[in-house]
A and B are shown apart, each in its own frame.
Chain A
Amino acid sequence: MDQEQRFLGVLGSSPFRIAIVYSIAFALGAVALLGAVYFAVSEVVDGSTDNLIEAEVQGLREQVLVLSRSDFIELIEQRSQDQDVRGAVYLMVDPQLRPVAGNVPAWPKIGADQGKWIQFKVAVPFGDETREHEMRAQRFPLPGGYRMLVGHDVQERQDVKQLMMRGLIVAVVCTLILGLGGGFWMGRRILAQAGAISAVAKQIMRGDLSQRLPVRDADDEINSLAREINGMLDKIEQLTLGMRTVLDSAAHDLRTPLNRLQSTAEAAMSQLAPASSERRVLERVSTEVDQMRSTLDALLRIALAETGTVARETVDLSELVASMVELYAPVSEERGIDLQSAVDADAHVQGSRQLLAQALANLLDNALKFTPKGGHIRVLLRGARGAPEVVVEDDGPGIPADKREIVLGRRVRLDEARKFPGSGLGLSLVAAVTKLHGARLVLDDAAPGLRVALKF
């Protein structure tokens, strides 16, 4: 199965296709070249025999005028026996077509429509056996109703032509075999290299930026291309790591003072009486720090997801979706919202379980926030084989069609949503996580409500 696929892969490869085109072109070239030679040679050989016959016919026509019949018969007999003139054939017949003289056993059958030249086969002794030889001849009438046939054995000529034709076919077949075989070999070679490159590219896409394309010693185009791509990857890795460093130091420089603020506020609070107004102020400070922290967390997670450097693992999407639904089921029941789910088993994706969980939690948080009491939320995981799709659907107010694109941008909160708490980063994080996993985020009208689909 695998081998068959690899074979089919080679057949579809571009080198093999190019080889097909070239072998056909070369084969056509061979046909043209050898064909031209064939026709030229035929012309020369045919022409010379035909001239020979014409001359002989001309000579005999003159002789018959001056010679008596018996002398003419003798002349024909002589010529027929002449060993110097190899391949010449003669036949003189009486009006009843009975042979009178010559070296052809019988007058050939001649169709009425045949012109000056006729061709027929004659059995000729060849060693111990006889062979049918092709003869080419002209005929002309003799006085007294007699007829004369003058021709030549063209079997040899025929043999040469056949040999040339065979040579031509062999040449074309060889060209095709060599061309296609070479193309197949080249296709396989290039496909192997391309396969190695695409395997590495996939790992890089998965976030492993340390991977490099394999480079062989050879100095061909593919190797120099691989070298250049590797150079580019070095640059990308550098930039991404740089970005990660910037993110880490930004995180550090924001989290450290926030932590001081939180510690200080809490330490002060522990010294104050529970209901004092000072304590209430500090409690507000602490709540604001929490809010800043959750915004900061969301921003950092979005940025991290966007660098694509988050480590990946095989995530059991079915387990994840089911457990998220289970996590949110009691709270939605408490709020009088009907949470339903249909989860196909055995859906797996490569990615970050924590980020996927966070994305799903954001979608569920949103759905709970905007769905009124008595509303419905549906969570679906469809298509376990190959391309799973996670759908979160509610029958809340939804998002107007013209605003669906912009809510995915960072910190966009629609006016209608301002009365609800939240950082406005929820969907942006979902979008970043979706992109990190090479999936598509589709917002749709659930009529009424919002349908969010993550298509892996």
Chain B
Amino acid sequence: MLSPLRRESNVPTKIGPRTVRYDAMHILIVEDDQVARDSLAKALREAGHTVDVAVNGLDGLQMASALGIDLVVVDRMLPKLDGLALVRSLRATGRKTPVLILSALGEVDDRITGLRAGGDDYLTKPYHMAELLARIEALARRGDSGGDAITKLKLADLELDRMTRRVMRAGKKIELTAREFQLLEFMMRHSGQVVTRTMLLEGVWDYHFDPQTNVIDVHISRLRQAIDKDFENPLLHTVRGAGYTLREDD
């Protein structure tokens, strides 16, 4: 039945340097472009995940419906069953598996249709692997960041109270602008993960374009000034070629 599928090794062959913080997941890639599929599968395995691949929408839907899949990366244009139809069918059967849609289309409102179909995130080709990995990580961890119910976020000696809108570090109050507060809240919700510039622009400002100016970097450096300047251990780190991460140094 599943003859066109290549079930690739369940066991990560190699643990790469990026992988340390990832919780191992079982990820399904539904992508008809071989080069993209292979390099994505390789990168995910290097990150310690178990990877299944499907080359068309119908097989992808069958495999995604099987138990044990933690996350699906699906290309939008697929043979046999379109990527959006796949996501809709999956959602129609009540599956809440996180889905990241890859698209090679024209964009603007394609993104909205993708998310409306039930996708959780949307990335346009060509993408950087670091961007894709960061988004996969964010999707996988979305469940345990606590949602809106949690009012206090904490990392090492940094504390953020969403109710009183106060930020304290080592017992000292830190003054932030409204936007810096939002930025820090977003970073703290994704603490330990890599957050890219586009993720920040989307998550904090709700904009989906590439500014030609390094606007996000300057916002981050201001936030860094505010939370790290007077303290010995920096929490906000730059991840070269990817973005930023908020974590305790080890």
Interface residue ranges, A against B (CB under 8 Å): 244, 247-248, 251-252, 255-256, 258-264, 266-267, 270, 286, 289, 293-294, 297, 300-301, 303-304, 310-311, 323, 326-328, 330-331, 334, 352, 354-355, 357-358, 361-362, 364-365, 368-369, 421-422, 426
Which of the listed residues A267, A323, A368 has the most CB atoms from chain B within 10 Å of its own CB? A267
Cα(A170)–Cα(B35), bound, Å: 92
Secondary structure dominating the interface of A = helix
A262 touches B16 (CB 8 A): no
Judging by beta carbons under 8 Å apart, are A256 and B212 in contact?
no
The answer to whether A352 and B128 have CB atoms under 8 Å apart is no
Across the interface, B126 reaches (CB within 8 A) one of A261, A323, A357, A421, namely A261
Known contacts A330-B218, A354-B207; decide if A264 and B104 are in contact (CB<8 Å): no
Bound-state Cα–Cα, A266 to B154, Å? 35
In the complex, what residues of A have CB within 8 A of residue B39's CB? 263-264, 266-267
Of A244, A256, A263, A369, most buried by chain B (CB within 10 Å of CB) is: A263
Stretch of B59-67, B85-93, B105-113, B166-174 lying at the A interface:
B105-113
**Which residues from B are CB-within-8-Å of A294?**
210, 212
Whether A304 pairs with B218 at a CB distance below 8 angstroms is no
| Contact (Cβ within 8 A) B209 A260 | no
Docked-complex contact B215 and A256, CB < 8 angstroms: no
CB <8 Å contact, A304 and B213: no
**In the complex, B74 has a CB within 8 A of chain A:** no
Q: Which residue of A lies closest to B32 (CB)?
A: A256
CB-contact partner of B209 in A267, A331, A357, under 8 A: A357
> What's the dominant secondary structure at chain B's contact region?
loop
Of all chain A residues, which has the CB nearest B222? Answer: A330
Q: Which residue of B lies closest to A330 (CB)?
A: B218
What residues of chain A lie closer than 8 Å to B42, measured between beta carbons? 267
**Residue pair A262, B128 in contact (C-beta under 8 Å):** yes
Q: A311-B109, A327-B207 are in contact. List 15 more A-B contacts (CB 8 A).
A: A244-B106, A248-B105, A248-B106, A255-B124, A255-B126, A260-B36, A262-B127, A293-B126, A297-B107, A311-B112, A330-B215, A331-B215, A358-B209, A362-B212, A365-B211
Q: Which residues of B contact A361 (CB under 8 A)?
A: 207, 209, 211-212
Q: Chain B: which residue is nearest A358 at the CB level?
A: B209
Query: Which residues of chain B are within 8 angstroms of A301 by Cβ–Cβ distance?
Result: 107-108
Chain A residue contacts of B212, Cβ below 8 A: 294, 361-362, 365, 369, 421-422, 426
Which residues of chain B are near A263, meaning CB under 8 Å?
A: 35-36, 39-40, 126, 129
Q: List 7 A-B contacts (CB under 8 A).
A: A255-B104, A266-B39, A311-B112, A331-B213, A331-B214, A361-B211, A364-B213
Instruction: Return chain A residues, CB-CB under 8 Å to B77.
Output: 252
Residues of A within 8 A of B213 (CB): 328, 331, 364-365, 368-369
Closest Cβ of chain A: how far from B125's Cβ, in Å?
A: 4
User: Contact between B211 and A259 (Cβ–Cβ < 8 Å)?
Assistant: no
Interchain CB contact under 8 A, B215 and A328 = yes
Instruction: Give complex CA distance A328, B205 in Å.
Output: 12
Task: Indicate whether B219 reaches chain A with its CB closer than 8 angstroms.
Answer: yes
Q: Is A289 a contact of B126 with CB atoms below 8 Å?
A: yes
Task: Choose from B35, B104, B109, B222 the contact partner of A252 (Cβ within 8 Å).
Answer: B104
**Pick from A258, A264, A304, A330: contact of B108, CB under 8 Å:** A304
The answer to whether B104 and A297 touch across the interface, beta carbons within 8 angstroms, is no
CA distance A362 to B209 in the complex (A): 10
**Provided the pairs A252-B77, A330-B222 are in contact, do residues A352 and B36 lie with their beta carbons within 8 angstroms?**
no
Shortest Cβ distance from residue A320 to the other chain B in the assembled complex, whole angstroms: 9
Residues of A within 8 A of B7 (CB): none
CA distance A256 to B212 in the complex (A): 23
Q: Contacting B210 at CB < 8 Å: which of A260, A297, A303? A: A297
- Assess the A266–B129 pair: CB atoms within 8 A: yes
Q: How far is the CA of A354 from the CA of B110 in the complex (A)?
A: 12
Task: State whether A247 touches B106 (Cβ < 8 A).
Answer: yes
